[in-house]
Structure 1
Amino acid sequence: MSDKLGITPACFTKLVQDLRIHTTLTDSRFIQLEQKVGFLLQALRHSDGVRKVGHRFQHSTSTIAMYIHEVVEAIMTSKLYGIYVHQPTPDEPTSGIITRNPKLQPYFGHCIGALDGTHNVFAVCSFDLLFLHLHAGSEGSAHDQKVLAWAIEKGFQIPGPVKYYLGDAGYTMSENIMVPYRGVRYHLREWIAGARSSSRETLPSTKQELFNLRHAQLRNVVERIFGVVQRKFSILTGSAPEYNYKMQAMIPLLCAFLHNHVHINDPFNRSTGKARAARMTMEAKRARLEIIYKRTEEALQNPAVAVDEEVDDPPEDQPEGLSMEATRNEISDRMWIDYLKYKDGPRRRQQVPDHLDELLLAFDHEGLLLR
């Protein structure tokens, strides 16, 4: 079932149970709710049209289309969606991804997630790989800042004081959005290219570079979550010509809901299922980065795939972003002081400069997940 529908039997049972409790969906005279959900998952998982799904389940195309729309409408209009996809509260605890990492906890303790957009979808996610907010339907060519303003109009709420999100250089520095230093090495392909060298020159050479690397490490969760969902649901990278505009706009939101549902109720699916070594040798680290580098080179040769988009005309930071700029400078100062102490410490000097650790932190254990 995991391969055919994208979720395990246990998670499928939990999903159907939740639908029975929190929505108006029930068994029909000849079609059980489990089958209706199966119709939808088959279409999402394999980007199958209603004719192909009908052939798979031996039902007419009209029956398949009717029940797919029924399940989608029920999920998107019920409280169940908000149970699994919801924005953080002001007292939301800091993610363990940060608190358990000594390279992040002292500096990003108030950061609650990252935001970005791909095509015409605006997404906000936590560092635990959960969607917090999603909107679809904006103009695909719109600037990131315009898409953010559009999302706020549609209900996206910026967190209260102190808490903030990470955004790339396409966003304006504001009270609740921290962006990297502009004009300083940041994009993943720049760090990947530097990783091919073994000299100390590939280490961050300024506090701005170090901050940008750590910022990229955290914000990369957006690329990872997009990659995970796109691999699970092929319809996101295919086409849905049989569905009207309203349905097409709901599909990304629906996939986000299903992703969160699986992520919360089926922890095994949070990883590839492969054991991860506690420590990696220098050779293993270089080999992994070499794979990542090759993937990036392939993506750069394919204009249809973006690795990390350049910003032609970055927005100017607004007056309300001055306090966040001061916070960023304070973080980068402390980060740089601590980094120099560690890098130049007696134990560190006795070791081969393991600058690859800093770079590998910027990627998921599966490697760079390209959009």
Structure 2
Amino acid sequence: MSDELGITPACFTKLVQDLRIHTTLTDSRFIQLEQKVGFLLQALRHSDGVRKVVEAIMTSKLYGIYVHQPRPDEPTSGIITRNPKLQPYFGHCIGALDGTHVPWKARAGDDRRFRNRKGFLSQNVFAVCSFELLFLHLHAGSEGSAHDQEVLAWAIEKGFQIPGPVKYYLGDAGYTMSENIMVPYRGVRYHLREWIAGARSSSRETLPFTKQELFNLRHAQLRNVVERIFGVVQRKFSILTGSAPEYSYKIQAMIPLLCAFLHNYVHINDPINSSTGKARAARMTLEAKRARLEIIYKRIEEALQNPGVAVDEEVDDPPEDQAEGLSMEATRNEISDRMWIDYLKYKEGPRRRQQVLDHLDELLLAFDHEGPLLR
């Protein structure tokens, strides 16, 4: 103990006792005070203590067990199948992707590369998440000055792939339409903030007027999950929003990945938030959690049977095109056509007078389900 913590066992015991008496420090639900103090002393004694912990987790098989893309045959998320306004149109959608900026400590001469359009130094972190609020893939360490589309290209070079021949992710207008990424119509009202502003100013601006507006609204409501997961993780780990840490580029890039791993780990294994008493995975059905745990158990078993082999993401080769030869743009147009026809039928129904109020409630629920975003 003296070598690791710089303190004798007897002195360590007394320190813990004094901390219990003279401070508000106590045991938490899963970690005893002795462990907390031990972690602190080890990090203080060894300047590379944090680096060792980060590298140990990020280079282990544990990360790949909890942060990985869905299998090609994984069923559609219950978030879509249980919603009649989404299920008929987004059955092959497996999640959403976006970039977020995390503070970065740059070396002399690198300021220009890492300075983003908002004026501060950052790394542009590319992230993909499921509709159950779980991270599926991350690519960190890109320059803050890089455009989201550039970062996506780098992520693909590093091995990011879409699993399955007809699966796709939702992206915002910062990305280019591709065979596996569906973006909204450009030049058409899109962001939920725009819809809510219209709803509060005039009920006539609450409802979509064209098929492109309707598609963009449904797209934004579904894609909003990636903005929500950024907000959740940023509130949980202040290192993602505070001053940039004094670490090497390698460790700085690993920190967002580690936070994503910890988020997934807690989200799956500790579903009740001890501070609020509410379920963390309120939108993750029991069936979805069981399916996710089955995958995790299988990957753990594979890791134990093959200790020398890393657990890689199991994805197919990039598909050449969408099913039935449709391009993603044609797929989007076909979806928006069907969506608009169904919407017009709904407008002509007996609930027309209540439609505006229902629509506003739906917008507010989608926009602020987990509280204000911190992006």
Decide whether the 8 Å contact of 2:188 with 2:213 is kept in 1: yes
**Post-superposition CA distance 1:332-355 (Å, at most 9, x none):** 111111112222201334676433
**Post-superposition CA distance 1:207-263 (Å, at most 9, x none):** 110110110111111111011001001111112433222111110000000000010
In structure 2, the gaps of 5 or more residues are 102-123
User: What secondary structure does 1:249 align onto?
Assistant: helix
**C-alpha distance in 1, partners of 2:43/2:321?**
43
Distance 1:270 1:167, change over 3 A: farther
What's the CA shift for 1:329?
0.8
**C-alpha distance in 1, partners of 2:82/2:75?**
13
2:244 to 216, 240, 245: 240
What's the CA shift for 1:50?
8.0
Decide whether the 8 Å contact of 2:161 with 2:315 is kept in 1: no
Decide whether the 8 Å contact of 1:186 with 1:209 is kept in 2: yes
What's the CA shift for 1:316?
19
Decide whether the 8 Å contact of 1:99 with 1:109 is kept in 2: yes
Distance 1:315 1:113, change over 3 A: closer
Which is further off, 117-126 or 3-12? 3-12
Distance 1:297 1:329, change over 3 A: farther
Decide whether the 8 Å contact of 1:216 with 1:362 is kept in 2: no
Distance 1:204 1:299, change over 3 A: farther
After superposition, where does 1:185-334 map in structure 2 within 5 Å? 185-269=189-273, 273=277, 323-334=327-338
Decide whether the 8 Å contact of 2:98 with 2:126 is kept in 1: yes
Decide whether the 8 Å contact of 1:170 with 1:315 is kept in 2: no
Distance 1:368 1:327, change over 3 A: farther
Distance 1:28 1:47, change over 3 A: same
**Post-superposition CA distance 1:35-72 (Å, at most 9, x none):** 379848999999999899xxxxxxxxxxxxxxxxxx22
Identity of aligned residues (%): 95
Decide whether the 8 Å contact of 1:173 with 1:321 is kept in 2: no
**C-alpha distance in 1, partners of 2:8/2:320?**
47
What's the CA shift for 1:202?
2.1
After TM superposition, the score normalised by the length of structure 1 is 0.68
Decide whether the 8 Å contact of 2:67 with 2:264 is kept in 1: yes
Which is further off, 339-348 or 27-36? 27-36
What's the CA shift for 1:144?
1.3
**C-alpha distance in 1, partners of 2:287/2:97?**
34
Distance 1:44 1:250, change over 3 A: farther
Which is further off, 159-168 or 287-296? 287-296
What's the CA shift for 1:114?
0.5
Decide whether the 8 Å contact of 1:47 with 1:238 is kept in 2: no
What's the CA shift for 1:87?
1.4
User: What secondary structure does 1:311 align onto?
Assistant: coil
Which is further off, 355-364 or 304-313? 304-313
What's the CA shift for 1:100?
1.0
**C-alpha distance in 2, partners of 1:237/1:304?**
36
What's the CA shift for 1:297?
50
Decide whether the 8 Å contact of 2:64 with 2:311 is kept in 1: no
Tell me if 1:144 matches 2:126: no
What's the CA shift for 1:294?
46
**Post-superposition CA distance 1:162-204 (Å, at most 9, x none):** 1000001111111100000001000233112112134233211
Partner of 2:351: 347
Task: Say how many residue pairs are matched.
Answer: 353
In structure 1, the gaps of 5 or more residues are 53-70
**C-alpha distance in 1, partners of 2:235/2:223?**
20
What's the CA shift for 1:126?
0.4
| Higher Cα Rg, which structure | 2
User: What secondary structure does 1:285 align onto?
Assistant: helix
**C-alpha distance in 1, partners of 2:217/2:73?**
27
After TM superposition, the score normalised by the length of structure 2 is 0.68
Decide whether the 8 Å contact of 1:46 with 1:233 is kept in 2: no
**Post-superposition CA distance 1:261-293 (Å, at most 9, x none):** 010011123995469999999999999999999
Partner of 2:115: none
Distance 1:132 1:205, change over 3 A: same
User: What secondary structure does 1:362 align onto?
Assistant: helix
Which is further off, 256-265 or 339-348? 339-348
What's the CA shift for 1:141?
1.4
**C-alpha distance in 1, partners of 2:144/2:166?**
31
Decide whether the 8 Å contact of 2:96 with 2:169 is kept in 1: yes
CA RMSD after TM alignment: 14.5
After superposition, where does 1:51-66 map in structure 2 within 5 Å? none
Partner of 2:60: 78
Which is further off, 351-360 or 269-278? 269-278
**C-alpha distance in 1, partners of 2:129/2:175?**
16
Distance 1:211 1:230, change over 3 A: same
Partner of 1:65: none
What's the CA shift for 1:365?
1.6
**C-alpha distance in 2, partners of 1:190/1:304?**
52
